Every structure is written in C-alpha cells, then in structure tokens.
Structure 1
Amino acid sequence: MKIDRINNIKELLQETNTISIDRLCDKFGVSKNTIRRDINELEKQDIVKKVYGGIMLKQNTGEPEPFASREVKNSEQKKIVAKLAAGFVKDNDVIFIDSGTTTMHLIPYLANVRNLTILTTSLYIINAAANYAQFNIICTGGTFYYPSKAFIGSSVLKCLNNYNISKIFLASAGVSLENGVTNTSPLECETKKFMMEKTAPKILLIDSSKLDVSSLMTYAQLKDFNDVVIDNRPPQKYLNYFKSNNVKLYYPDEDKY
C-alpha cells in the first residue's frame, strides 16, 4: 500500500538521511514513476528535499517539527506504549485521543472494542479511525494547525465541553520532574489544559526518549495524571515520584508499579 511504503521511506531516511531513487525502486519493487509520486507526497509533508538521483531528510530550521517527521521517530516504542494503553479502553467507552505521535498508534489496538466513541482533534486519528466501521467518531472541528495536523481554537473547547468522556489519552513532547508535562505548541496546550480539567481519568502516553526533556510550555504536572504508560522502566527518581503521588505506572512486563 502507498501509505505503508511512504512510512517505510520515512523510516529509512531516519536511518540513512539520504537515499537514491534506484535503491527505493529495488527495495519496494515499484517503478520510478511510483517512487517519484511518493517523493512528491513527502515533499508536500515538508520532510524531504530532492537531491541529484534521490532525496534527503530536511533539516530542522527551528520551526515546529512537522508531524510527518515526528511520527516515525521511535515508532516501535510508541506502538508498544499504545498497545499497553489500549488495555484501558472498554466496551461502550467515550474516549478522547489527542494529536500526539504516540496516541495516534492507539487506533489499531482498539479494533475489538464494541460501541466505542472516539473524540479527537487529530486529523490523523480521524483518518485512521475511519477505516473501522464499528467506531463512532466525533470530530471537534476548529482551525486546522498544520504542524501537528490537529484542530485548535475556542470552538474545539466548546465542542469537547458537550460530552461526557470516560477516558482521556494525552501525549507530550517532553516530561521532567522540574517542568512537568510539556508541549511545543501554545495553541495545542490550550486544548490539553482544558482536558486536564475534566473529571475523567487522564492517561499519559510517552516513550522513554521524552524523559528529562522540557519543551516550550507546561500543560500539566506528572502528578495530575491517573496513569502513565511508557515503553521501558524509567529511572528510579520517576518511580519514587509516581509512587509518592499515587500515579500508576505501566510498562512492558510490568502490570503496574
């Protein structure tokens, strides 16, 4: 499938930084015209630029990192986190999934949940969930924010305020004991802060590369979450913090700390 091939190209670029058209044709067994169409799509996503005979990964210029670039970083770890977090979802739940590149991996692991309603600000979540006829999908609308492929603004908050949500799944660009749970976009932080005021259980999904990282704005403290799901056992200082603040921690081969 085209989308799988494009995602694989992104992963290759993360490893090699540059790659030739000939190598891509050989790897995927498709024509140069097909690969060129894939490259055009990657250019539109602003994560590659063309060089003679191939493509290279675009360098960060200080602007918010494009969603398409972020989504392939630590993708296997993010899938581990999403699979664990999916265990929180039960039949008849009404859940909110935010626009993070970890939370987006939840959708395939929810396929067997019955009568599930998904609220989201994320265009990616909408598109992914639309492949499953059994899901009830509620889109918030709002102003489209391209770097995160998400909807933002006051109309988003008005929409979310109308629903009784049973579980809230949030992501973060970085977490630390000093600065809490952070995000790169003030516009998205508004939505995240709003969701943190809801009474429903708040579940944070992070991969271990986010530990001891502080991004632009803090939208919550770690102790404000009911549960934290991560791909690996975190350092002892985090274990101590979660235990003292009654936050349940989940990671592979460990039901909870």
Structure 2
Amino acid sequence: MSQQRPDRIKQMLHYLWQHRHLSTQQAMELFGYAEATVRRDFQYIVNQYPGMIRGHGCLDFDDSTDDKEYVFDVKRTLQSVAKREIAALARTMIKDGDCFFLDSGSTCLELAKCLADARVKVICNDIKIANELGCFPHVESYIIGGLIRPGYFSVGESLALEMINAFSVERA
C-alpha cells in the first residue's frame, strides 16, 4: 500500500530539516517512492512551504537569507509528538490567574491548545496562537501588533516591542 501525500511530505520535510538537501534519487532510495511521485511532491513542497528551493532534481532549504528561523508550517510537522508532550508538561505549571507571554512557534501553539480550561491572561505575538486562544472563553488573550512576518505568522518590529513592554507578566 502506498503512503498518502501528507505522510510522504512529512518524511521529506523531516529529512530536509536535518540535512538541508534532498535529491530525487535520495527520496526514491530512502523512502521507496516512485520518481514521478517524488517530483510531484517536491513541487507541492515548493508551492506550500516558503523557504524551499527546487533545484535540478532536488530540494533545498533557502539559506540565502540572514533569517535562520524556519517557516512555521515546516516546523509544525517535525517532532509533533514531542511538542505535544512538552506542552502538556508546561500546562501543569500554569495556574489559574497566571499572566504569561507565549512566543511564536509550533510548541507554543501546542501549549495554547492545552489552555481550554484555564483562567489565565496570555500575551502572544503569533496569529495562529491568538486564533487558538480566542476560542477559549476563560482565557483573556492579547496579540501584540506590528509587522506580520509572511510564512511565520508572528508579529515583530518596534511597535510590537513597545506593546510587550506595557505588560507585566509572571511567566514567559
């Protein structure tokens, strides 16, 4: 039975995360995929994940930028079980009435998902986290304003820093 595209993409992204380069031949040998399947999946990855470059018979991370933070959707697919475990552990340390900052990132998004029953105040700089927190009636949530970083879903720049400094938090 052949793997579904999401599973194949996850395997390829995991390999790319570690090695920064994946050729068509490597994908065929490592994962047992047909050449046509690999080529279609490479094109899908380039279209869906900013920061990937399609070369002749390969995929690479785009290292031409000084920004080494990886695109959110790539990071989200990697080590997802470990991220959920970390989030569950972190949730045990959060008490009702706490006020804390959640940074941008896939592990912090997993923590946000664990706050459905919490009565807390959360300040964040991530659109996806703010969206998750907005579903919970007992979570008082704030999103920091500023420039939205395409592909990362986080907010930054000087306006964001000014807003962060306006809050007093117990945890970050």
Q: Aligning the two structures, in what range does the TM-score lie when normalised by the shorter sequence?
A: 0.5 to 0.7
Larger RCO of the pair (alpha carbons < 8 Å, separation 6+)? 2
1:14 aligns with 2:14: yes
SS at match of 1:144: strand
State the Cα RMSD in Å: 3.7
Q: Deviations over 1:67-92 (max 9, x none)?
A: 23344443333332222111111223
Q: Which one-letter code corresponds to 1:150 in the other structure?
A: S
Is contact 2:99-2:171 (8 Å) kept? yes
Pick the aligned partner of 1:126 from 130, 137, 140: 130
Tell me the secondary structure at the aligned position of residue 138 of structure 1.
Answer: strand
Structure 1 residue 116 corresponds to structure 2 residue 120:
yes
**After the TM superposition, which residues 164-243 of structure 1 pair with which residues of structure 2 at under 5 Å, given as runs?**
164-168=168-172
- Aligned amino acid, residue 82 of structure 1: A
Distance 1:129 1:9, change over 3 A: farther
Question: Contact conserved, 1:96 with 1:167, CA < 8 A, in 2?
Answer: yes
**Residues 123 and 143, structure 2, Cα contact 8 Å, conserved in 1:** yes
Could you say if the C-alpha distance between residues 147 and 91 of structure 1 is closer, same or farther in structure 2, counting changes exceeding 3 Å? same
Of Structure 1 and Structure 2, which has the larger fraction of its residues in helix? Answer: 2
1:157 & 1:62 partners in 2: Cα distance? 23
The amino acid of 1:109's aligned partner reads: C
Match of 1:93 among 92, 98, 106: 98
* Aligned-residue offset at 1:99: 1.8
> In 1, are the aligned partners of 2:146 and 2:159 still within 8 Å (CA)?
yes
Q: Does 1:156 find its partner at 2:163?
A: no
Aligned partners of 1:117, 1:97: CA distance in 2, in Å?
10
Report the identity percentage. Answer: 19
Name 2:59's counterpart in structure 1.
56
Could you tell me how far 1:156 is from its partner in structure 2? 1.9
Q: 1:57 to 1:38 in 2, by over 3 A?
A: closer
Residues 202-235 of structure 1, C-alpha deviations (whole Å, 9 max, x = no match): xxxxxxxxxxxxxxxxxxxxxxxxxxxxxxxxxx
Counterpart AA for 2:140 = N
Asked whether the equivalents of residues 124 and 130 of structure 2 are also in contact (C-alpha less than 8 Å), the reply is yes
Aligned length: 149
Q: Answer yes or no: is the 8 Å Cα contact 2:147–2:156 preserved in 1.
A: yes
Q: Give the distance between the partners of 1:136 and 1:60, measured in 2 at CA.
A: 38
For the residues of structure 2 that align with 1:46 and 1:40, how far apart are their CA atoms? 10
Of 34, 37, 48, 1:41 maps to: 48
Distance 2:151 2:167 in 1: 27
Letter in 2 for 1:15: Y
- Provide the TM-score with structure 1 as the length reference: 0.45
